[in-house]
Amino acid sequence: MAEVTRKRTGELIRKLFSILIANADGMQARDALATLRGQVTLTDHEKGSYESGGCALTRSSGLQQSML
C-alpha cells in the first residue's frame, strides 16, 4: 500500500504552489513539475514504479493523480 501521508502530500503541494507563485506569468505544468522534481528529495516509495499508477515524481507526466 502507498506510503504517501497527508503530511507528505501537503509538503509537495505547498512546494509546487511556491514554484507557481514565483512564476506569476504562468508556466507549463510539465515545467512546474520538473522544477518540483529538482527541489525535493524523493522517498524510496516515490522513486518507485507501481502497476496501479506509476511513480509520483519520476514519470514524465509528473505527480500521481492520487496525490492531487
Q: Report yes or no: 66 and 57 within 8 Å, Cβ to Cβ.
A: no
**What's the pTM?**
0.65
Q: Which residue has the cell 502497476?
A: 51
Query: Which is it for the CA torsion 33, 67, 39, 3, positive or negative?
Result: negative
How does pLDDT run across 12-62, given as a tens digit for each residue? 999 999 999 999 999 999 999 889 989 999 888 877 777 765 555 555 444
- Compute the distance between CA of residue 1 and CA of residue 60 in angstroms, rounded to an integer: 23
